[in-house]
Structure 1
Amino acid sequence: MKSSSSRASSYKRGKKITKAEYYLELNQKDTPTYPFYKDPNGNLFFQTRHKLSLAMFILFLIFLITFLLVGFLESWFNNYTFILGALVIIFLFETINYYPVRTYVIEYGKRYQFYKGNVCIVNGPISDIYIRLKKKEEAEKPHYYLVLDGIEIEEVQITYYGKSIPIMRKLGKNIANRLNINYFDIENYSPHHEVIHPGQNTTIDGDFQYNENFSTNCHSFSSENSESFSSFYSSDS
């Protein structure tokens, strides 16, 4: 029996499909709005946690053990205690910043919210969240990927890398259409944009203009479902 990775490189209807395309189609069979899932209230949600926090913790632990060992042998503590204290403060700050689960919520066709842990960062109009195609250069070769981004939220990558821009563009429009949100191509000015929710902060040309009157008030949507939201999302973290 073929593994998932080998099947990802298989042929479909006579055409070889990419890993990004394969896994997206596989997940969308079970969850049409993938990477978002439906919560008990019928809203779409997507959760992620920064992987950087674990790497930072391991690196800091190695550095701290080395520092203490060398400091003990060389009697550095009187001169370098303040350095250790500063590093501890930086580590704690980064841990607090990266540890909470990031939750993205879409009230279909209406609004979106972004949470760090149980803290609501923004509650905005659906026009201000979008799927965007991006490019990364590796070994002088372009690799394309899709991100979820918007005003006052943290950008998050939602697909594997792909080498074919037409395929990745198709996947991006597919995801955006299923989520009923805007799609933007690599370039700010592109005929490939699909803006179905024009808003005050997003122009048809893909220029993301911040509106001074933009509200980040989280109460209008979350107050009605705060109890169920908190219990549901915290249990999934």
Structure 2
Amino acid sequence: APKGWISGPPTTSHGKLFQLWALGLFCTERHLAKRLKNNSFYPFTQQQPNVFVLEYYLDTLWKGMLLFVVCLFLISFGVQKQETWGLPAYGVGVGLWIMISSLPRRRLVLNHTRGMYHFSIQGHTVYQGPMHLVYVRLARSSDAYGRCFFQLVLCGYKLEPLVLVHLSERYEQMEFLGRHIARKLNINYFDCLDTSYRHVVRHWPLGAALSPGVLLRKTKAYDKPSSQSDLDV
């Protein structure tokens, strides 16, 4: 079978359900590049040609667990006065609620054969819609000193935003990786600016004309095959 082709039903390992949690603390874009070398369709797996599947748990699961354990520890050992129990008790409740809401397993399917994507939680369909509603976005934020930070996010209608790379100051590398992921998954890519020539739009709403607010970037040089891996950045 061709490389990256998974014959038969997808075999979801325990580790793949938590793969979005391990985003790397330092040099996050290089960490993502290594993952893309191991799986060119990361974070998805190819179930069959033109069909990509992603099964995962939200990272709020471990955050809720951490909040629950810390607040429970404060109630059990760290709090001596009864009047100070309120805040840790509230944290226990919030942590427990976050854990329970994050426990159901998510499943996202990109089916280019049908031109649709399907998102479900614990086997129950949340939304099924056309492919132009799911995309990779380069998000931008800044700190008090004016420095800009970027992160790659997988977004879609009725889909929880999934962070693929945490904050990084390297715009060029982040853009390269975002466009690479979008090209391999055959979905749209959007720059951090709403009106930008760096958008790569592959799917339009049915019957829609080309929007004057979106300038397409020529990608002929980008798509040119090369003997060397294009992820050696």
- TM, length-normalised to structure 2: 0.63
Residue 160 of structure 1 and its aligned partner are, at CA, apart by 4.6
2:126 counterpart of 1:121: yes
Distance 2:74 2:203 in 1: 54
Equivalent residue for 2:56? Answer: 48
Task: State the AA in 2 paired with 1:120.
Answer: T
* Residue-by-residue CA offset, 1:158-214 (whole Å, 9 max, x unaligned): 1254323222222211211111111111011112111111116x98447xxxxxxxx
Distance 2:150 2:181 in 1: 15
Q: For 2:139, which of 120, 131, 134 is the aligned residue? A: 134
SS of equivalent to 1:154 = strand
Equivalent residue for 2:150? Answer: 144
Aligned length: 184
Which runs of 5 or more residues in structure 2 are unaligned? 1-25, 215-233
SS of equivalent to 2:202 = coil
Distance 1:176 1:36 in 2: 12
- Normalized per residue, which structure has more helix? 1
Distance 1:22 1:133 in 2: 16
Identity of counterpart residues, as a percentage? 24
| 1:140-219 alignment, distance < 5 Å | 140=145, 141-199=147-205, 204=211, 205=213
Which of the two has higher C-alpha Rg?
1
CA gap of 1:166–1:54, structure 2 versus 1, over 3 A, is closer
Residue 68 of structure 1 and its aligned partner are, at CA, apart by 5.3
Distance 2:187 2:128 in 1: 15
SS of equivalent to 1:159 = strand
Equivalent residue for 2:99? Answer: 95
Distance 1:107 1:193 in 2: 22
CA gap of 1:177–1:94, structure 2 versus 1, over 3 A, is same
Q: Is the 8 A contact 1:19 1:160 kept in 2?
A: no
Distance 2:83 2:157 in 1: 50
SS of equivalent to 1:47 = strand
Distance 1:19 1:64 in 2: 34
- TM, length-normalised to structure 1: 0.62
Distance 2:197 2:140 in 1: 17
Which runs of 5 or more residues in structure 1 are unaligned? 1-17, 207-237
SS of equivalent to 2:35 = helix
